[in-house]
Amino acid sequence: MDVSTFEQVVIEDSKITEYLLNIHHPEGGIKAEYFLQHGFDIEKPEEFRQILLEHLQQHSPTLKETKFGTKYIINGKIKSPDGNELMLRSVWMKSTKENILKFVTAYPI
């Protein structure tokens, strides 16, 4: 996917450290266990950020229009820090009010 059409692509640190890699998060805990088992490290959020950006750029999205904007759903393989290939779905959102693509979530499929 060509991300140059957006003013910005945003992945908030908290989405990685407080959600995707936080085993104590009520919704993200199960995801965190999976990602941590595959070498992701809460002390290295930039590594996860880079993998998510590559995932976004290397695969074609499915678009879903909502009342809040356009949801970009991306399915495809990533290479995890432990060297395994994982099937991942990442979800991104572009609001109707701005041309910024924001990361929402990711999980194994």
Tally of structural domains, the chain = 1
Q: Please write the tens of the pLDDT for every residue from 8-59.
A: 999 999 999 999 999 999 988 999 999 999 999 999 999 999 999 999 999 9
Residue from 46, 42, 105 nearest 72 by CA: 105
- pLDDT for 2: 86
Residues in the chain: 109
Name the pTM for this structure.
0.93
- pLDDT for 17: 95
Question: How large a percentage of the chain has pLDDT more than 70?
Answer: 100
Question: Taking all residues of the chain, what is their mean pLDDT, rounded to a whole number?
Answer: 95
- pLDDT for 58: 96
Residue from 36, 41, 74, 40 nearest 55 by CA: 74
- Full domain range(s) for residue 89: 3-108
Q: Retrieve residue 35's tokens.
A: 């990602």
- CATH code assigned at 86: 3.10.450
Write out the E strands in 7-84.
8-10, 61-66, 69-79
| Residue 103 clears pLDDT 90, i.e. is over it | yes
Cβ-proximal residues to 23 (8 Å cutoff; 6+ apart), any chain: 29, 32, 33, 36
Query: Averaged over 89-109, what is the pLDDT?
Result: 96
CA–CA distance, 73 with 96 (Å, rounded to integer): 17
Tell me, rounded to whole angstroms, the distance of Cα 83 from its chain centroid.
18
